[in-house]
Amino acid sequence: MADKIKKIALLTGGGDCPGLNAVIRAVTRTAILKYGYEVIGYKYGYKGLYNNDIVPLDLSSVSGILHKGGTILYSSNKDNLFNYQVEENGEKVYRDVSDVGVENLKKENVDVLVVIGGDGTLTSARDFARKGVKVIAVPKTIDNDLAATEITFGHYSALDVATDALERLHTTAESHHRVMILEVMGRNAGWIALRSGIAGSADVILIPEIPYDIKKIVSKIKSRGEQGRPFTIIVVAEGAKPLGGDVVVQRVVSDSPDPIRLGGIGDKLAHDLEQLISDHEIRCTVLGHLQRGGDTSTYDRILSTRYGVAAVEFIHEGRFGNMVCLNSNKMTFEHLENVIGQIKTVDKGDELVKTARSIGTSFGD
């Protein structure tokens, strides 16, 4: 038991995600109501830790936020204190300023830091744990690509948005006999495209794990026309790529820990198909940050609450340096050293892939 714990702090890093507020609420309420801990939050992720920009968290401050997307603590995906941009002699340089963060934790008498984020944010959490900070990590990403846990909160909220978009594109596709392409997020993992494609009745699902042959997609479109279905719905993950080709990079953000921004595969696919098909109009919709916004789904409200409660329970049990996980529908934990850099992607033999193939969905292979 961690009997000496009196005060904990939270921060949220990386891209925003439905369910962040629900986790903050669950951690705060459990910490206060069950264990009597004092709770504070650092604003703007690790930037707030560096600047000691804090806000008290109590029952009032977390009231009414369960359903809301975003994060009341705000976030940043550019502030790695182990490689932080500072100005020296009028020039911007990168330095390891993590000791400042450690000192600020000591200054505020913080016993445990709860870090909520994806792989980049949790990499820094691991590094702080190596420096002796008591850390509990909570996995966050709509992409569902973090290892050691079956589902990350925010994923199903994003799926709802993507599925709704596919349903809306169906009516236009059918009315105009068009090929409609929906580009979704996911980076190098195809979970959003795969699950929304099944739920949204996509005819073609393109994911990073299965490189596609453009000719196979053309064949699928023509086959549907011959069957009296002269329209096609395609969902493509931003990290998908053609056979022998590479991903499409939208831009490079040089001052970010994760500088490569994928995007544009939907437009590329539309252009390539237009060169091979003359009897269909082809349109592409990029869903983008709509997948991150809006209210948190019912599933994610429950999952996020479970994650938050488990984080505090693990604090009480003294299980520091670990990430909260969901496995076999039970809240468990895994050491951060075993989690960082382990990306969970879709296996070609995954049951969901087999399910989609069984109902006639093409993966372009």
Q: Indicate which residues carry an active-site annotation.
A: 143
Element (H, E) at 252: strand 249-252
CB 312 within 8 A of CB 116: no
Beta bridge partners of 138: 116
Q: Is 122 exposed, middle or buried (0-12, 13-18, 19+ CB in 10 A)?
A: buried
Listing DSSP states for 76-102 in one string gives -SS--TTSEEEEETTEEEEE--HHHHH
Task: Tell me how far apart the alpha carbons of residues 157 and 17 are, in angstroms, rounded to a whole number.
Answer: 9
Beta bridge partners of 284: 181
Short-list 53, 50, 115, CA closest to 84: 50
Q: Is 155 helix (H, G, I), strand (E, B) or coil?
A: helix
Task: Tell me how far apart the alpha carbons of residues 7 and 31 are, in angstroms, rounded to a whole number.
Answer: 9
Q: What angle do CA 15, 159, 12 make, to 5 degrees?
A: 20
Q: Is 175 exposed, middle or buried (0-12, 13-18, 19+ CB in 10 A)?
A: exposed
